[in-house]
């Protein structure tokens, strides 16, 4: 592992591991988790990296290996040491960073790759949602060894499953069937189906400031905003990426700012309320850029990871300038 500090980005090299997801801890400032796979996730094992920031750069705090590629990671919302990852073998893994070995628990029900996992953010619930290539979504209570329920309806691979930060028991999913779907845990079914793109949708996210607003990112290179009160037309469309959009995230600090990363190797920052929405294009990876997250503690800080075997934390110029 080699880390370079200072300059535009703090970088940790992870030889032989291709990054799929990066998530900042909601508790510890500067702590980052990265889910990665060998051989671009096609074969081999996976590793969960836990990183800390220091003045000299990024330092590896702990790493955990799994026998298949790890494709996503989510931090517990009620225990600063606990995370969940998901894997190419159809399982979810529960890890504790306070312990040198793991996992504490494995949940194996999906029959194909699990590409997405997310821990609920609303108070009173401690639930995890997972989305799989087997076209199902499963709901988990991490204290229970089996899933609470399974949601069916998507007609292709599910790439993204994200809890609403506002509405308890509500989550969104994005799929290769070209739809964005909104689900209600209490209704045990789908509430809204949005034919959001004429292409596979690889990512979706909820706005942190508007409970009705979501964004989708697809292999058609476009980002589209959706108001759940009227899904006939997108409320915005952001164009500029030249290959598939792999992940999209709304800022936790700015109501109309979001970021996207792509197979075009770039990360782009947008303000959809502006006439010229593209704020900045960051080109510091040499391979598919798959993982992306905004810091929850620092309004200017972003992390990403890519298939070039690097994890980066940096402060984009557009976030350090006054709006």
So what's the pLDDT on residue 56?
Answer: 82
Is pLDDT at 320 greater than 60 in this prediction?
yes
For residue 186, name the pLDDT band (cuts at 50, 70, 90). confident
In a domain, 206, yes or no: yes
In a domain, 220, yes or no: yes
C-alpha 99/C-alpha 75 separation (Å) is: 15
* Residue from 251, 240, 242 nearest 280 by CA: 240
For residue 1, name the pLDDT band (cuts at 50, 70, 90). very low
So what's the pLDDT on residue 5?
Answer: 37
C-alpha 238/C-alpha 255 separation (Å) is: 16
In a domain, 190, yes or no: yes
* Residue from 102, 42, 34 nearest 66 by CA: 102
Region 160-187: mean pLDDT is: 95
In a domain, 91, yes or no: yes
Region 198-222: mean pLDDT is: 98
| Residue range(s) defining the domain that contains residue 171 | 10-320
Number of independent structural domains in the chain? 1
In a domain, 100, yes or no: yes
pTM of this prediction?
Answer: 0.95
Q: Strand 57-66 and strand 310-314: pairing?
A: unpaired
Q: What is the pLDDT of residues 141-159, one digit of tens each?
A: 999 989 999 999 999 999 9
Q: Which spans in 190-268 are helix H?
A: none
- Lowest average pLDDT, out of 16-20, 45-49, 188-192, 266-270, goes to 188-192
% of the chain exceeding 90 in pLDDT: 87
Q: Strand ranges (DSSP E) for 67-169?
A: 70-75, 82-87, 91-96, 105-108, 114-119, 128-132, 136-140, 149-152, 158-163
CB atoms within 10 A of CB 189: 12
Q: What is the pLDDT of residues 286-307, one digit of tens each?
A: 999 999 999 999 999 999 999 9
In a domain, 4, yes or no: no
Is pLDDT at 275 greater than 80 in this prediction?
yes
For residue 7, name the pLDDT band (cuts at 50, 70, 90). very low
Run of H or E residues at 320: helix 317-320
So what's the pLDDT on residue 229?
Answer: 96
Give the domain CATH number at 316: 2.130.10.10
Q: What is the pLDDT of residues 58-108, one digit of tens each?
A: 999 999 999 999 999 999 999 999 999 999 999 999 999 999 888 999 999
In a domain, 2, yes or no: no
In a domain, 264, yes or no: yes
Is pLDDT at 189 greater than 90 in this prediction?
no
């Amino acid at each position: 592992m080699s880390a370079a500090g200072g300059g535009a980005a703090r970088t940790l090299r992870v030889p032989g591991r291709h990054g799929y997801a990066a998530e900042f801890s909601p508790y510890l400032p500067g702590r980052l988790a990265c889910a990665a796979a060998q051989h671009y996730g096609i074969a081999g094992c996976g590793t969960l990296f836990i990183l800390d920031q220091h003045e000299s750069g990024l330092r590896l705090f702990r790493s955990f290996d799994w026998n298949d590629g790890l494709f996503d990671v989510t931090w517990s919302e009620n225990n600063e040491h606990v995370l969940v990852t998901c894997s190419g073998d159809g399982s979810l893994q529960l890890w504790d960073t306070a312990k040198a070995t793991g996992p504490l628990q494995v949940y194996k029900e999906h029959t194909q790759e699990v590409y997405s996992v997310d821990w609920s953010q609303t108070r009173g619930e401690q639930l995890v949602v997972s989305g799989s290539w087997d076209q199902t979504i499963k709901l988990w209570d991490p204290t229970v060894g089996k899933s609470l329920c399974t949601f069916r309806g998507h007609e292709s691979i599910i790439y993204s499953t994200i809890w609403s930060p506002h509405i308890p028991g509500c989550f969104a999913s994005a799929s290769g069937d070209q739809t964005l779907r909104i689900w209600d845990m209490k209704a045990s079914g789908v509430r809204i189906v949005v034919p959001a793109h004429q292409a596979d949708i690889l990512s979706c996210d909820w706005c942190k400031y508007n409970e009705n607003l979501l964004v989708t990112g697809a292999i058609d290179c476009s980002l589209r905003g959706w108001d759940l009160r009227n899904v006939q037309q997108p409320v915005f469309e952001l164009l500029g990426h030249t290959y598939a959009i792999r992940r999209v995230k709304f800022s936790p600090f700015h109501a109309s700012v979001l970021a996207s990363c792509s197979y075009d190797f770039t990360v782009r920052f947008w303000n959809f309320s502006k006439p010229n929405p593209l704020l900045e294009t960051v080109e510091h990876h040499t391979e598919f850029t798959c993982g992306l997250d905004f810091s929850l503690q620092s309004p200017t800080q972003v992390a990403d990871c890519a298939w070039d075997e690097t994890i980066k934390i940096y402060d984009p110029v557009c976030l350090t300038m006054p709006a």
